[in-house]
């Protein structure tokens, strides 16, 4: 019904690939000034599961801009993995299709808008527990 068409999915896959290249270039440029970490080091622990493990690894990256780009690159890699697995465009929390308009704006979106809002409320109201 609201599931992605093949055309939409291909379109989003292209966007992700283009964005990934930009992030790789920016991270490579940023890492040139840091302590010997490479993109491969940073991506080594990337899994679809983990906002938390990502955050831990990111703490080793001192440059804030590189950290931001790295977080986006991880999201892109995870989104591409979901495309491969056939689960792209499905909310990871409630299993409903994420609307194309949202994916078009945020191709790495893992959740539908209601689930994302719930998550942000939880994160905002429960610090350090």
- Interacting residue ranges for Zn ion, rule: CB under 5 A: 91, 93-94, 112, 115
Cβ proximity to Zn ion: between 58 and 113 the closer is 113
Summary count for the chain: helices (H), strands (E): 6, 0
Contacts of 54 (CB under 8 A, 6+ apart): 45, 46, 71, 74
Residue nearer to Zn ion on the CB measure, 74 or 110 = 110
Q: Quickly tell me which residue has 């989104």 as its tokens.
A: 79
Strand locations in the chain (E): none
Shortest Å distance, C-beta 115 to Zn ion: 3
Residue among 111, 95, 105 at smallest CA distance from 51: 111
Q: How far is the CB of 112 from Zn ion (least distance, A)?
A: 4
Distance CA 19, CA 87 (A): 20
Q: How far is the CB of 102 from Zn ion (least distance, A)?
A: 11
Taking the least distance from each CB to Zn ion, the nearer of 30 and 107 is: 107
Smallest separation, CB 98 to Zn ion (Å): 8
Q: Which C-beta is closer to Zn ion: that of 60 or that of 95?
A: 95
């Amino acid at each position: 019904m609201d599931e992605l068409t093949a055309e939409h999915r291909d379109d989003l896959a292209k966007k992700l690939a283009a964005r990934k290249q930009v992030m790789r270039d920016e991270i490579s440029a940023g890492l040139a000034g840091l302590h010997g970490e490479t993109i491969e080091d940073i991506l080594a622990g990337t899994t679809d599961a983990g906002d938390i493990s990502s955050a831990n690894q990111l703490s080793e990256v001192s440059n804030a801009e590189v950290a931001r780009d790295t977080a986006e690159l991880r999201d892109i890699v995870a989104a591409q993995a979901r495309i491969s697995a056939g689960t792209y465009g499905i909310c990871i929390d409630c299993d409903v299709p994420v609307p194309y308009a949202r994916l078009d704006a945020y191709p790495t979106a893992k959740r539908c808008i209601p689930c994302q809002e719930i998550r942000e409320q939880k994160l905002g109201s429960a610090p350090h527990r």
